[in-house]
Chains A and B, each alone.
Chain A
């Protein structure tokens, strides 16, 4: 043999790690969920890239331009609402630290209501546009506008659904490891949706209205 790459194991060195602790479930799930959020971020990255490609007067195909369909003031109200919702969720996290179930549930309910208000405004915006004839099948530009904003909206719907489940689980089970892990990960998810909305607000609404 040309060379031995390794030393030999000495008699005093331990060979086994009996009762080796299993990986901490909270860190395990947090890392896994961060990785999931990374894949989610890539979904939005691809959609923003598609938006950048199709955000050209040419892609309006003679239909409404982006400045005709975005209402930055209404979107600003949505921005305020979604961040208030994140704030409410953060208050729930304060309640989690204190171990106060009612506090956590209260924060979650507030976050759900604000999230629903956000979605309500978005749906109303969509309804108005569609009534005006600015539908997703009108042009490539409108397609990507609707799909980008709606993808964010669908994420919001699942966030709200998740919060409703968590309200029940906190009430039923209290703060078990699984429930706490889910609350922590839901916080990441909810804040991430707010950050994505900032990008939507800047690149679609502000950039579209004032160019």
Chain B
């Protein structure tokens, strides 16, 4: 049954040999050196200050939704940086390899990247940015904020939440390790068939891509059912459906998409795995395979995934804009309807990703109209945000800057999207960088939303504000970079430049390519200001420390908690009297957090099991990629065994007595910050005592 592969294989290491380490490539060596340089100080400092125990006790084993969310965001930001570096490399290669007289560097004929390496870079750029950067950061926000916004102490299934995180981390780790051991997929982030099939991709690249996506997709599905259950079951008394903060609505729509779309990706990838490991013929170019089957299955997930990425960003904008306009969100009910209808339409538009694949005019027409229908609720949203701004008392603090930037980008991205929804135009610009510029504009809406959320909620989670001065510069350079890169890219697309080219044949594109590269330079400057912002903020954290509601005009329940948020969130669950519960309390002069009468709080113990499951999932993925059957088999058995073992442990959790809660809350009233640091013990440590 197993496919017989040509080339070296041994039972212990599978296909792994020393020659698979790409030490002959100066670029990969440089990346390795960079990773070492970045990791060495962190590891050194952790060891010097003896923080490994703290890391394991407080973070790796945690079931606290806020810490899990923070770890999601850290993974996402690291992957964002990696994807950004890939982006720089793509743009630079295209700038250097323009025209037959372009110079050759390193091992390339044109530019500095050989085609196979270039193909891996654009594949990993797309995969990382979509699956491991934007999706992961947004999941992190939803993890942190949703339980706080609905007045809950934790997620519905805290343990499952940690499992989702570590599965995602295992997927991200597989992508990262592919840089140094073996290679990554060269078939685009969509995995074009039959290029991903064994005869055309005999290496391990496609397998890395396949298993990394599979693991993170499993994590996202489990996370989706967790968030949906949390929103349905864990709301505070009085928080009826139409009193929910808008971000919670956005999360509910998003996760409904996640729950229904990601299993389809799982199937599309699993069938590809069957082709690659068992020799079946689902997507092969002969023997009864069907190439379009993959394309359809992939995009049945792929288009909902687009809204999975954009809806939470719109949710963040819908929190930030009212706060800094000092007004309630305009047309809340209509916004909810618009979000739900976008989620609904997301399942009905997938074919517009391949209008040119010969489905026929009738089918194309249906999908063209359904795609244009998405424009209606989206337009409603844009008008509602504009009308929220209208006659508001606007304050242009950094989160607001990002939110308004996102609004402008949405206009550009949305209008070009409507153009692409017309099959006739689509045929003309198909596979051109016009399309690339369009979806980058839309993803940048998401990225702007992410940075709005980062600036907006950072003080809530960590207790100090991010530095406003470098934050503004970060925003300015990032926005300017966006204009230079994508204005030029739209133009290039209309001039006929197609995507995924490692060599450009037209020297007349040079001027626009230089403009793009200048935009990339501005992005690099903005990354510098981002790092400076983080550094300055941490340095001056005592100066920027503040109380529960840093913006003073925020409206939703998360701002009612102490800052930084204690691990039990709410000492006593609040009663909700209407929409914008916190604004209501503030306007009624009821901002004091002290309920007077405290109670015992029961929360789950920390546990190492989810992190172990993640490690085993990584082992399974790595074993499958390199066909090290014993490793994959043992890891799978380990996962099953660990899940069964854990089901026998009756964890009664950790009880924080009313007296302790009172002490922590009183302490906060006196000093303004949460000083008494207590967190649940690690359950497994009891085994060793």
Contacts and interface: CB of A to CB of B under 8 A. Distances in A.
B491 interface: no
Interface stretch (A46-54, A71-79, A97-105, A203-211): A46-54
B282 A144 contact: yes
Contacts of B366: none
B237 A9 contact: no
Interface string A26-55: 011001100110111011011101100110
Given A1-B393, A147-B271, 5 more contacts: A32-B225, A61-B287, A136-B278, A137-B281, A169-B647
A146 B271 CA distance: 11
A52 B392 CA distance: 55
Contacts of B228: 35
A40 B580 contact: no
A139 B288 contact: yes
B234 A35 contact: no
A5 B580 contact: yes
A165 interface: yes
Interface in B263-287: 263-264, 266-268, 271, 274-275, 278-282, 284, 286-287
Contacts of B573: 16-18, 20
A50 B297 contact: yes
Contact of B575 (A14, A32, A53, A178): A14
Nearest to A43: B263
Given A17-B237, A46-B267, A169-B648, A140 B572 contact: no
A140 B284 contact: yes
Interface of B: 1, 156-157, 160, 221-222, 224-226, 228-229, 232-234, 236-237, 259-260, 262-264, 266-268, 271, 274-275, 278-282, 284, 286-290, 292-293, 296-297, 300, 326-328, 390-393, 572-575, 577-580, 583-585, 587-588, 590, 595, 597-599, 602, 640, 644, 647-648, 650
Contact of B225 (A8, A36, A135, A144): A36
A50 B391 contact: no
Nearest to A172: B648
Q: How large is the interface on A (under 10, 10 to 19, 20 to 34, 35 or more residues)?
A: 35 or more
A159 B289 CA distance: 31
A2 B293 contact: no
A115 B573 CA distance: 46
B207 to A, nearest CB: 18
Contacts of A141: 288
A8 B328 contact: no
9 contacts: A5-B328, A6-B328, A22-B602, A23-B233, A35-B259, A39-B221, A59-B290, A136-B274, A147-B280
Interface string A169-196: 1001100101000100000000000000
A132 interface: no
A136 B273 CA distance: 13
B308 to A, nearest CB: 14
A32 B226 contact: yes
Contacts of A61: 281, 286-288
A17 B260 contact: no
A137 B278 contact: yes
B236 A17 contact: yes
B153 to A, nearest CB: 8
A18 B288 contact: no
A9 B236 contact: no
A16 B280 contact: no
B578 A140 contact: no
Given A2-B327, A14-B575, A39 B297 contact: no
B282 A50 contact: yes
A39 B260 contact: yes
A91 interface: no
B574 A6 contact: no
B599 A19 contact: yes
A140 to B, nearest CB: 3
Contacts of B222: 36
Given A31-B232, A32-B225, A137-B278, A53 B584 contact: no
A117 to B, nearest CB: 23
Contact of B327 (A1, A50, A58, A135): A1
Contacts of B300: 46
B262 A53 contact: no
A32 to B, nearest CB: 5
Contact of A42 (B157, B260, B279): B260
B233 A140 contact: no
A7 B328 CA distance: 12
Contacts of B602: 22
Contacts of A4: 328, 587
Contacts of A1: 326-327, 393
Contacts of A58: 288
B267 A47 contact: yes
B236 A140 contact: no
B587 A8 contact: yes
B290 A140 contact: yes
Nearest to B580: A6
Given A6-B328, A15-B575, A137 B584 contact: no
Nearest to A147: B274
A140 B281 contact: yes
A89 B637 CA distance: 27
A53 B278 CA distance: 20
A140 B579 contact: no
Nearest to A36: B225
A165 B647 contact: yes
A46 B347 CA distance: 13
Contact of A139 (B274, B287, B583): B287
Nearest to A137: B279
A38 B259 contact: yes
A149 interface: no
Contact of B579 (A6, A17, A23): A6
Contacts of B293: 50, 53-54
Given A31-B233, A140-B281, A143-B280, A15 B597 contact: no
Contacts of B650: 173, 176, 178
A182 B647 contact: yes
Contacts of A2: 327, 390-392
Contacts of A60: 288
Nearest to B233: A23
A17 B263 contact: no
A49 B264 CA distance: 10
